[in-house]
Structure formats: structure tokens, C-alpha cells
Structure 1
Amino acid sequence: MSADPAVRPSVEALTAFLPAQRWFAGKSRQWEVTGTTTVAALDERTTLDLVHVRYADGEAETYQLPLVRRDAPVEGLAHVLVEEVTGGGGTTWLYDALHDKEATGLWTGGVASGRREDGVVFHRVDGGAEVDEDATSIVIGAEQSNTSLVYGGSTIMKVFRKVSFGLNPDIEIHEALVRAGSEHVAEILGWVEGRWTDPASGEAGTGSLAMLQCFLTTATEGWESAKASVRDLYAEGDLHADEVGGDFAGEASRLGEATAQVHQALRETLGTGTLDQDALRALAQGMHERLRRALPEVPGLEEHADALAAAFDDLAALPGGLPVQRVHGDFHLGQTMRTLKGWKLLDFEGEPARPLRERQAMDSPLKDVAGMLRSFDYAARHLLVDRPEPHLEYRATEWAERNRDAFCAGYGEAAGRDPREDGAVLRAFEVDKAVYEAVYEARNRPGWLRIPLSAIERLATQGERRS
């Protein structure tokens, strides 16, 4: 007996399934499943499904959970079993379809053919590389907010788990950069767009569901490369950061240069703007509000609150005219890959927790610079979370400062202006990012909280010295 696509998971099963998924962002909040939507059937047993969630504060989110229906249990899919449903003369096992190798070819096949039907459109980029429809998929385990599958080592598909109406910035920006001839991104081959109705508002619209790109072979993640450099430094207790074989500063400089070139390409393809003084004040006010909300969650922030707030006041006091453009929005070493042809930048989706309209808005490129500066600090100190040794703390500070300086110098060489020349803006963005990190670590990894708190102490001290 074939599985019935009309069989849907129960609210109870989804309520139990979602918290166990790394991509579900509502774990620390009170929430409930309010319903499901089937966007389209890809074949007789595989559907594109959405799960609608409402939180106690009234906020609503929608998550993508493609389902495959099997009429017998599959041992290899036991870890993604959503529900075993009995009724109508038989039993159906519902699994997350992205882990079923027999189902995932439907996505690459759809892009290759440019498939279109009610509810879903597979877009194919004209002139792009060929898509191997027969390649077997493997789920990448490191992904958190989305799910990525590698097909045969040649293509990679990112499936957006939290979805909303509108074009996902990751698709928009990748397409723009490829069109501009940027050598610092992987080629985009196509994407998937769905149409559905929001059951809470009754609003109907289209939204991005997935994106297919060329897979970067012989590449190393920037985060892993930086960690290796730090380990080399710690192993040589009597050497400085510029004396060890794994010195990362040259790569940090080249990454800064690549980042500046990507920013330039985005200016040329997606336009620019400026923030007047009122807009700067509004930007600073948002930072103040995030700090205010963070204080009761992270007691260690309280002693530095005035100095941190002063950084935002300095931003608000600027005369206006701050250049803005489309940016990465969530930039760190984990969003970069070092290939034989240089640095590549990944994941232009922005912070998934922010509303889509905010992630689509223009922002200062210094926000990306600040994100990377904070990432160097994390790379330097993550190995010390469980081993706070004073002599290594010194080495960590030295490594972070060396690579932060190298990144800014490389960026400035390519951009024509060193980001450190705009100190008030850069510092405000870095303080804002560190406050965000402190809240995240307090909620999810309390043992790591000392990393952003050490940065907050440094940033607060810098501000006190200026005053």
C-alpha cells in the first residue's frame, strides 16, 4: 500500500518534534503549534510542508518541515521520525524528507527542469553550471538555523527552516554578486519559491524555501583555520603570535580585502544610501534598547552599562551622512571559506531571528567589520573556556589584536579607507554585537559567557579613556 500524502502530523507530535531540532529557535520560549500548511506535493509521498508556531507574547513564526510518507519504518530515518500515524486501514510513518536520500533528488531535479506548478516554483539561473539530478545527498551536521545538503560533492542546497513572505537575502545577494562577477562567492544555480496563506493573518504570499549553489571543494572554513592558528600559538608558550608557523595575520588581511571587494560589488549592484542625523539617532536608540533588555539577563553587564551606553550616544551625536548599503548582516569566521582561489563568503541571510524587512534593509558595512572583529576574539578565547590560564589569556589577547588589525588593514587597502578611521561607528556596532553575544551565551552556553564579557570590559575601558 502506498503512503497517503493526505496524512498529516498531529499538533502533539509536532510539539514533541520541534524542540529536538537544532533549527527551531523557540526552545527557550513558551509556544504552541497553531497549524500546518502543505505548499505542494513533489510526488505521491513527498510534500513541502510548513508548521506555524505562536508564542506567548503573540509573535508568530513559520518553519519549513518537508515530509516523506513511508508505509514501513525506515531504520536510517528513525532520528527524524515525526510521527507514526495509524488509521484508514494502515499505518504511515512520517519523516523529515530532507534526510531521505530517495526524496531529496526531487529538489535538484526541480531546479534542473525549472519545474513550476501550483504552490511551488523551482527557479534555474540562466547560464549556470549543470545540475546532477542523480547525485546522492548528504546532510551537513554543522548547520543550525537551516539545513544544508551536499549532492555528490558538486552542489549544495540550503533549505531555509524559518520562512516568511519575500525573497530571502541569501538568494538576492548571491544572485547580485554572481551577476557582478564577484570571485568571492559560490555560484548560485537556482532556488525554490513557495506560495502559502498565513493561517493567523489570512495573508497570502510567496517566500523562499531553498537555494542551490556550487559546492566549494578543497575548502576550509575560516573558523577552523583560525582555531588551528590559535592552537599552534598555545602550543608554543614562549613565542608571540607573529613568530609561530600558524600565524593567521596574512589570511586575516586577505579576508579583509575580500570583504571590502564584496561590499564594493554590493554597492554597484544593489545601490547605496546615507543615514541622516535622525536615522543615526534611531539606530543608536535601537542599540540602547537592546542593552536595556540585556541588563536583567546578564548581571555582569550592569557595571559597564554607562560606558556601553556612551558608545551609542557617540553614534547618535554624529552629524549624519553615514553611508549605508546591503551587507552580510551576520558576518563571522564561520561564514567564510578559504579555497585554493582565495576567500569565499557564505550565508548572506542575515540574522535569522530578525524580521525579513530588517535583513533586507541597507546598513553600514562597518556592521560586518564589527562582526568579524568579534569573531577573531571568539577564535582566540574559545579554547580557554575550560582552562583559564593567565599566560594563555595574554596570548589570546595578542592573537586577537594582531588579526583584528590585519583584517582592518586589508579592508582599508581595498576600500581606500581603514574602518578604524570611523572609530565611533565601529565601536558602537562592536558593543552592540558583544551585548547580543552576552545574551546568547547566558541563555545557551553559560560557560562561554566570559568571552563576550571580557570584550565588553575592554570596550567599556576604551570608552572611559576617551571621556
Structure 2
Amino acid sequence: MSEAATPFVTAAPGLLASLDPLLREWLPRQRWFAGKGRPVTGFSPIAATELLPAPGRPAPGLRPGTGDPREQGEAGPTARLGLYHLLVRVRQPLVPVPGAPEHPGDCYQLLIGVREVLPPRLAPALIGHVTQGPLAGCTVYDALYDTRPAEVLLEALRTRDRIGPLRFHRDRTQEIRSGLVPRLVTAEQSNSSVIYGDTFILKLLRRIVPGVNPDLELPLALAREGCPRVPPPTAWMAADLGGQPWVLAVLQPYVQGAADGWELALRELAKGEDFAAEARALGRATAEVHTALARALPVVTLGHSALDRLVGGMVGRLEEAVHAVPALRPYAPGLRSAFTALGDLAAEGRSWTAQRVHGDLHLGQCLRAPDGEWSLIDFEGEPARPLAERRMPQPPVRDIAGMLRSFDYAAHSADAPVAGWAETCRSAYCTGYAEITGRDPRTDPVMLRAYETDKAVYEVVYEARHRPGWLPVPLSAVRRLAVADPTRSP
């Protein structure tokens, strides 16, 4: 069965049709919705599963360990909570004009709570009031804001449950205690996260693609290698559809008291403090992860033809970016030279090795524990890129370039910029990386400049579309990277 085949439905008939008008309004407002700027024209169900019966529907009999869905207080002693898990493909036009052809549609994971009356504490989670279909008269909301649905998910993971197409897996060597109190992480994210009692954190993926997801695949591989720089997966949720896995969520140990690398860098900048020691330690942590991934998964050599494809992709993305953001046009020849210089070295017989890497590394993907140790998280890669591309071996310098760009972003985000801060961090990070691998990324300036340029071009397009006020940050890097001599790039 393919994605487009008959959907798997164990929920009330007509459920999605009754939610359709509400989801059209609610979905585009979510931080994790990728189709902003284009209207939602409809939905195609992939899977719809009832986890708890909605108010007014007969209870089919609770599964062991799921508890009583009736809650005390808030809406009365017999208030019923319904819970539905949906995988839906969202139909949208390719461009936001009437009559435009439709995009095949991204698939999103939704956890829909249903109540007769929504308590005030859940007001931020409101999706809307249903007027037709099996949930008519009820209020629906994003269930992750609610403790009870979050508890249902953790209990299903703890007991390795199977509900319709949903499969809950657990590492038997790790214990999951019952009764851990959940709380939703409300910071803006491209997915959704729930913390359980400062013991575990569940990352619920929102934009779903079928296949092996690197956000589970790579941490599992690193756990087998005993790499301490990545929290090992404790449990995960998947769907059995179409003969291939659909990874939906991953539960990992929560690093209590950890500081997000981005927030930590901004705090140190605000105080005018040096960040070089942390940058160096982060470089060492990155190198340890790369070394473990090279042991766990295949390493390949990129010959002339592979490098031609790599360079061609970079040039193609630059051309698309120049068309989308005219401010890039004056720098295009210099930026293109960063890619052609790499192609020239390949034509002369130079080759590079490639392996599995993080794929979207920046300060926000790093955590520093109270003991000073750094961890890397979120191995999903850039969600906008195809899954097959995200799982391809890449030169490790791709991750390094991402982190170097992140230091630049942090420096430009400070209220009171500190002269030379980014350059010092970049140097310290590369030094730390070399201390573990014996290879300083700065000794390969052509490859480093090519990947930094590719990342900066991506940032220009992203900021122009989503955060125009931030556009000067990548444009300042573009001016530097457009210089033909790569040795002038710090």
C-alpha cells in the first residue's frame, strides 16, 4: 500500500470532514506548519485513530494501563475527554493565486483533544467548536497542552502498546516510571515537545514523511557506539502504514538544568563575556559525534562525479535564491566562485570522504549540562529537504559550516555587539574539533567556504520570506563569502 492508498481509520466516520473548516484556519497559524502563505484547500486522511472516546460516544473498553478518561473538576465529575490521533495530508495550491495547481501536500501529525467545555487553562490550545458530524457540539483543541493526553502517550510507550496502526516501542534496558507529570514546551519549535517530570522529553514530529527518520536512526546508532554526547532514545512511536515505517515521536532522557547553546551564547554576549572556552568544548563534542558516526555507519569517498552533483546542487540553489531575493544579485558571481573553486579541485583529482552527519547543526541544537558537558540533539536534518537527501553521507564540514554561521548569528543578535566575538568563537570551535580528529577544518578552506556559502544563501532566502528584519545578518556573511580568495574567510 502506498501513501495514497486507502487510509487506515479506526476513528469515528466523518471525523476529518467535521474538523475540516476548523483546521483550515488553525493549521496555518502553527509555528511548525510549512505551507504558510498559501491557503489550505482540503485534507486527505492517511490514518485516524481513536485513543479515548469523545463525549457522547460509547467507550469501547479501556486498554490496560490507560486509566479512566473521566476527569474530576473543571467540567464536572462526569466530564469526558476524547482523544484522536490523525495523520493528514494537507492540500494547498503551489502559489497563492486562484486557480493555481495544487501541491501534492505535506503530511502532518495532529493530536486532537475533544471536550464538551474547554477549561480556561487550555484556552491557548483551542482549535474551535465543531458544528457538524460525530463531534458536533464539542470543542476540539491541541491535546499536547493537556496533561491527560500526554500521560496516555507516555503510558503507551511504557507498556509497548499497539493501537490501530500505531506502534509504541521501548528500549527494554531503560525504565519508564509511571506517574511522571507532563508539561508542554511552549518555546517556538519546528516540532512539539513534552517534558515528563524532568526525567524524559518527548519530541512529537509534526511534518511526517514515511521511511527511516534520522532523528531516531542516528541517536540509536550513537547509543550502540556508547557515545555520551547524544541522549539515547528511551522509546519511540511509529505507524505501520504502506509497508514502511512512519516515525512519529522519540522519547529521550531530559538533561535537567541544561542550557540551550543559543541562549547561553546570548547571555554571555550580553555580559560581554568571552565564549571561546565553550566554543572549543562544543567543537570537541561535535568531533566526538562525527567520529562515533563514522564508526557506526558507512563512510564513502566522494569522487569527481559525486562532487559534480554536489557543486551543481549548490549552484542551482544559488540561482533560485538570486531569483527569489534580488538583493543577492550583486554578489552572485563571487558566491558562484565558492562553488566552482570546489569543482575545480575535484577536476584536478581531489577527493573527500563523506559520512552521516547531524545535518542541521547550530547553537540551538546543543545543550550544555550543569557539569559543563555538551550534548547534540535534533538529528532530523533540515525538514524542508527530502528524507533521502537528509540520510545521504555528507562531508563533516557541512555541520561545521552550520555552527560557524550560528556564531555569526549570535554575534549579530546581541544588543551590544562585541567586536571580534564571532571570529574568536569560530577559531576556538575549529581548534576544539581538531583536538579530537587531528584535522582542522580551516586547512580545507575551499570546501569550508563552499558549505558556508551554501548555508548563507539558504539563510538569505529564509529570512527574506519569514523574518525580513533579520536579512542583514546573512547578507553580511554573503558580502564576506563573495570574496574570491577563500583564505580571507575566517
TM-score of the pair, normalised by structure 1: 0.89
State which drifts further: 84-93 or 422-431. Answer: 84-93
Aligned to 1:23: 32
Quote the Cα distance in structure 1 between the aligned partners of 2:353 and 2:21: 49
> Paired residue for 2:466, among 444, 447, 450?
444
Aligned to 1:375: 406
AA at the equivalent of 1:112: R
Q: Write out per-residue CA displacement over residues 392-414 of structure 1, whole angstroms, 9 at most, x where no aligned residue.
A: 4xx34x11111100000110111
AA at the equivalent of 2:357: V
CA 1:406–1:89 in structure 2 vs 1: closer, same or farther (change >3 Å)?
A: closer
Quote the Cα distance in structure 1 between the aligned partners of 2:321 and 2:299: 32
> Paired residue for 2:158, among 84, 101, 112?
112
Aligned to 1:125: 171
> Paired residue for 1:350, among 351, 361, 381?
381
Native 8 Å contact 1:11 1:35 kept in 2: no
SS of 1:68's partner is: strand
AA at the equivalent of 1:152: G
SS of 2:138's partner is: strand
How far apart are 1:450 and its partner, in Å?
A: 0.7
Aligned to 2:107: 62
SS of 1:72's partner is: coil
Aligned to 1:168: 213
Aligned to 2:182: 137
Aligned to 1:42: 51
CA 1:36–1:76 in structure 2 vs 1: closer, same or farther (change >3 Å)?
A: farther
How far apart are 1:138 and its partner, in Å?
A: 1.1
TM alignment of 1:301-316, pairs within 5 A: 301-316=328-343
Aligned to 2:97: none
AA at the equivalent of 2:259: T
AA at the equivalent of 1:71: E
SS of 2:461's partner is: helix
Q: Write out per-residue CA displacement over residues 239-298 of structure 1, whole angstroms, 9 at most, x where no aligned residue.
A: xxxxxxx21101111110110010000011112111111110111111111111111332
CA 1:279–1:408 in structure 2 vs 1: closer, same or farther (change >3 Å)?
A: same
Aligned to 1:365: 396
AA at the equivalent of 2:375: K
Quote the Cα distance in structure 2 between the aligned partners of 1:213 and 1:221: 16
Aligned to 1:283: 310
Aligned to 1:456: 478
Native 8 Å contact 1:123 1:190 kept in 2: yes
Quote the Cα distance in structure 1 between the aligned partners of 2:136 and 2:337: 66
Aligned to 1:183: 228
State which drifts further: 132-141 or 32-41. Answer: 32-41
Quote the Cα distance in structure 2 between the aligned partners of 1:71 and 1:364: 54
Native 8 Å contact 1:195 1:205 kept in 2: yes
> Paired residue for 1:221, among 251, 260, 277?
260
Quote the Cα distance in structure 1 between the aligned partners of 2:12 and 2:339: 53
Aligned to 1:241: none
CA RMSD, Structure 1 to Structure 2 (Å): 1.9
Aligned residues: 435
AA at the equivalent of 1:19: P
Native 8 Å contact 1:280 1:320 kept in 2: no
Native 8 Å contact 2:238 2:246 kept in 1: yes
How far apart are 1:320 and its partner, in Å?
A: 4.6
AA at the equivalent of 1:410: G
> Paired residue for 1:192, among 234, 237, 241?
237
Quote the Cα distance in structure 1 between the aligned partners of 2:221 and 2:267: 33
Quote the Cα distance in structure 2 between the aligned partners of 1:194 and 1:78: 30
Unmatched 5+ stretches in structure 1: 197-202, 234-245
Aligned to 2:138: 92
Aligned to 1:239: none
Quote the Cα distance in structure 2 between the aligned partners of 1:147 and 1:174: 18
Quote the Cα distance in structure 1 between the aligned partners of 2:245 and 2:48: 10
SS of 1:76's partner is: helix
CA 1:440–1:119 in structure 2 vs 1: closer, same or farther (change >3 Å)?
A: same
Native 8 Å contact 1:39 1:120 kept in 2: no
Native 8 Å contact 2:337 2:484 kept in 1: no
Q: Write out per-residue CA displacement over residues 418-455 of structure 1, whole angstroms, 9 at most, x where no aligned residue.
A: 01111111110000000011111111111111110111
Quote the Cα distance in structure 2 between the aligned partners of 1:444 and 1:140: 22
CA 1:274–1:54 in structure 2 vs 1: closer, same or farther (change >3 Å)?
A: farther
How far apart are 1:90 and its partner, in Å?
A: 5.7
How far apart are 1:59 and its partner, in Å?
A: 3.8
Quote the Cα distance in structure 1 between the aligned partners of 2:335 and 2:83: 51
> Paired residue for 2:119, among 46, 67, 74?
74
Native 8 Å contact 1:281 1:315 kept in 2: no
Quote the Cα distance in structure 2 between the aligned partners of 1:32 and 1:285: 35
How far apart are 1:55 and its partner, in Å?
A: 3.4
How far apart are 1:95 and its partner, in Å?
A: 1.5
> Paired residue for 2:436, among 392, 405, 414?
414
Quote the Cα distance in structure 1 between the aligned partners of 2:373 and 2:245: 36
Native 8 Å contact 1:249 1:402 kept in 2: yes
Aligned to 2:446: 424
How far apart are 1:97 and its partner, in Å?
A: 1.6
- 1:329 paired to 2:359: yes
Quote the Cα distance in structure 2 between the aligned partners of 1:97 and 1:214: 22
Q: Write out per-residue CA displacement over residues 101-135 of structure 1, whole angstroms, 9 at most, x where no aligned residue.
A: 1111111111111112430110101312x213322
How far apart are 1:33 and its partner, in Å?
A: 2.6
How far apart are 1:322 and its partner, in Å?
A: 1.4
Quote the Cα distance in structure 1 between the aligned partners of 2:486 and 2:112: 55
AA at the equivalent of 1:20: R
State which drifts further: 330-339 or 118-127. Answer: 118-127
- 1:101 paired to 2:147: yes
How far apart are 1:344 and its partner, in Å?
A: 0.4
AA at the equivalent of 1:417: R
How far apart are 1:169 and its partner, in Å?
A: 0.6
Quote the Cα distance in structure 1 between the aligned partners of 2:135 and 2:403: 57
SS of 1:41's partner is: strand
AA at the equivalent of 2:257: T
> Paired residue for 2:284, among 254, 257, 260?
257
How far apart are 1:75 and its partner, in Å?
A: 2.3
Native 8 Å contact 2:338 2:484 kept in 1: no
How far apart are 1:63 and its partner, in Å?
A: 0.5
CA 1:355–1:465 in structure 2 vs 1: closer, same or farther (change >3 Å)?
A: closer
